């Protein structure tokens, strides 16, 4: 998410970008994913407390049919399977623990001894891939989709995902990508059809093809971003407003005014806990914080760098606000301290063109190495 202007500035976890002639805003929409690890061994213990064992051990089949009403429903998640083949018979005990309620209609078939407990564990921790994306524009007609690593020791290493994104016929070859963001694990971009930041595209990283979603009804939308529930926001430097964007059509409406006159800009969302939008205004080199629901300004701080174009993205897994587009170092990646405004170099000269758009994933993205 980013945007280019006479001055320079950027923003963050939706994705925020700049309003420039090849720049973009990066967005960070944090859509958290859940990994579910399910270990299940033996019989699945989620039953109705019905002990029914059937053994087919050839020698003799001893069947005791006692009808006892006993219900053992303790909550247990151990999985043991013991099989005794020493006797001619198989005793199958299936105990299902589910609290302590149960109706044991015991048809006890004694045929050996097989006990089965099932253990199921679910991991709901959120994991976010350690990379960000950008569209690198080495010349006016080439749009290279690149993955930038943020793995410690490898920060700034790039991988080309698409050599040159195929544009729809409605968008000129010399368009400028001014912002990127993920929404429902799909990649969206703000580009120029007639004016910078007037149109939204959907990028397929598998086929390296972009399709037009629609026009915003605003221009200068050089910062777009999405939040955890997949609402999409944007910043228009032409109208100096924060907008809410309909993902299916790109049509937008005003959410809140931007304070002052905005030049190159970027916008990004933080995370569910803070639920704020970060924005950079290159006109005054300040980092702004907005309410993640209504877009009202919560505060702003000065940064110690001069932005000309703006790319900005808050990475939900790293809790780091990444930015690019600093004058004289527009091919490099930086981080911004959201408390102090300090801007720090993360990786120098990693791109071939001016950086003004960044995007971080909220979950697995097809055809992009995780």
pLDDT tens for the chain, residues 1 to 370: 443 333 333 333 445 565 544 443 333 333 333 333 333 333 433 343 333 343 333 333 333 333 333 334 344 344 343 344 343 344 444 444 434 444 444 444 444 444 444 333 333 345 789 999 999 999 999 999 999 999 999 999 999 999 999 999 999 999 999 999 999 999 999 999 999 999 999 999 999 999 999 999 999 999 999 998 899 999 999 999 999 999 999 999 999 999 999 999 999 999 888 999 999 999 999 999 999 999 999 999 999 999 999 999 999 888 999 999 999 999 999 999 999 999 999 999 999 999 999 999 988 898 998 7
- 252 and 149 housed in the same domain: yes
Q: Would 364 be classed as within a structural domain?
A: no
- 47-to-2, 98, 109 alpha-carbon distances in Å: 55, 8, 18
Q: Would 252 be classed as within a structural domain?
A: yes
- 152 and 211 housed in the same domain: yes
Contacts of 333 (CB under 8 A, 6+ apart): 148, 155, 156, 322, 324, 345, 346, 347, 350, 355
| 281 vs 220: CA distance, rounded Å | 13
- Residue 182: per-residue pLDDT: 95
CA-nearest of 228, 252, 229 to 242 is 252
- 296 and 195 housed in the same domain: yes
Q: Would 138 be classed as within a structural domain?
A: yes
Q: Would 148 be classed as within a structural domain?
A: yes
- Please identify, among 101, 121, 141, the residue that sits at the C-terminal boundary of a domain: 121
Number of domains in the chain: 2
Got the DSSP string for 22-82? Answer: S--EEE--------------SS---S-S--B-----SS-------EEE-----------EE
- Residue 12: per-residue pLDDT: 34
Q: Are 183 and 247 in contact (CB under 8 A)?
A: yes
| 23 vs 4: CA distance, rounded Å | 6
- 83 and 24 housed in the same domain: no
Q: Would 365 be classed as within a structural domain?
A: no
Q: Average per-residue pLDDT in the chain?
A: 77
- 242 and 113 housed in the same domain: no
Q: Would 370 be classed as within a structural domain?
A: no
| 347 vs 337: CA distance, rounded Å | 16
| 17 vs 9: CA distance, rounded Å | 9
- Please identify, among 79, 102, 121, the residue that sits at the C-terminal boundary of a domain: 121
- 7 and 81 housed in the same domain: no
- 206 and 68 housed in the same domain: no
- 106 and 233 housed in the same domain: no
CA terminus-to-terminus distance, the chain:
21
The residue written with tokens 């925020």 in the block is 16
Range of 220's domain? 2-35+126-347
- Residue 260: per-residue pLDDT: 92
- 240 and 173 housed in the same domain: yes
Q: Would 113 be classed as within a structural domain?
A: yes
Q: Would 363 be classed as within a structural domain?
A: no
- Residue 16: per-residue pLDDT: 56
Beta strands at 177-183 and 241-245: parallel, antiparallel or unpaired: unpaired
For residue 209, with 0-12 CB atoms within 10 Å meaning exposed, 13-18 middle and 19 or more buried, which class applies?
A: middle
Q: Are 304 and 311 in contact (CB under 8 A)?
A: no
| 296 vs 278: CA distance, rounded Å | 11
- 202 and 293 housed in the same domain: yes
Sign of CA dihedral 52, 55, 56, 61: negative
- 92 and 141 housed in the same domain: no
Tokens of 131: 């990379």
- Residue 359: per-residue pLDDT: 96
- Please identify, among 121, 151, 168, the residue that sits at the C-terminal boundary of a domain: 121
- Residue 228: per-residue pLDDT: 85
Neighbours of 81 (CB within 10 A): 12
Q: The CATH number of the domain where 343 resides is what? A: 2.120.10.80
Rounded to the nearest 10°, the torsion over CA 100, 102, 108, 111 is -50
- 30 and 174 housed in the same domain: yes
CA-nearest of 23, 15, 13, 14 to 309 is 23
């Amino acid at each position: 998410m980013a945007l280019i202007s006479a001055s320079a500035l950027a923003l963050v976890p939706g994705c925020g970008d700049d309003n420039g002639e090849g720049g973009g805003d990066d967005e960070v929409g944090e859509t958290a994913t859940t990994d579910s690890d399910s270990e299940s061994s033996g019989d699945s213990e989620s039953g109705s407390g019905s002990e029914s064992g059937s053994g087919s051990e050839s020698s003799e089949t001893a069947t005791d049919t006692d009808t006892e009403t006993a219900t053992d429903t303790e909550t247990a998640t151990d999985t043991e399977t013991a099989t005794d083949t020493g006797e001619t018979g198989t005793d199958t005990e299936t105990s299902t623990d589910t609290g302590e309620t149960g109706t044991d209609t015991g048809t006890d078939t004694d045929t050996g001894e097989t006990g089965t407990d099932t253990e199921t564990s679910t991991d709901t921790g959120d994991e976010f891939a350690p990379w960000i994306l950008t569209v690198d524009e080495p010349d006016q007609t080439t749009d290279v989709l690149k993955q930038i690593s943020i793995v410690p020791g490898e920060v700034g290493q790039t991988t080309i995902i698409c050599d040159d994104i195929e544009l729809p016929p409605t968008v000129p070859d010399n368009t400028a990508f001014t912002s990127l963001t993920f929404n429902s694990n799909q990649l969206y971009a703000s580009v120029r059809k007639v004016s910078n930041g007037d149109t939204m595209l959907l990028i397929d990283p598998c086929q390296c093809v972009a399709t037009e979603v629609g026009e915003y009804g605003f221009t200068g939308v050089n910062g777009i971003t999405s939040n955890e529930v997949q609402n999409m926001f944007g910043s228009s430097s032409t109208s100096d407003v924060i907008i809410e964007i309909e993902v299916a059509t790109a049509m937008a409406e005003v959410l809140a005014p931007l304070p002052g006159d905005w030049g190159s800009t970027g916008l990004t969302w933080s995370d569910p806990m803070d639920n704020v939008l970060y924005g950079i205004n290159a006109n005054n080199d300040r980092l702004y914080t907005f309410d993640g629901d209504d877009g009202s300004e919560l505060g702003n701080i000065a940064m110690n760098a001069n932005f000309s174009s703006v790319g900005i993205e808050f990475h939900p897994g790293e809790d780091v606000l990444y930015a690019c587009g600093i004058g004289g170092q527009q091919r490099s990646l930086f981080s911004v301290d959201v408390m102090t405004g300090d801007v720090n170099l993360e990786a120098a000269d990693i791109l071939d063109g001016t950086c003004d758009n960044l995007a971080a994933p909220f979950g697995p993205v097809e055809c992009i190495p995780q």
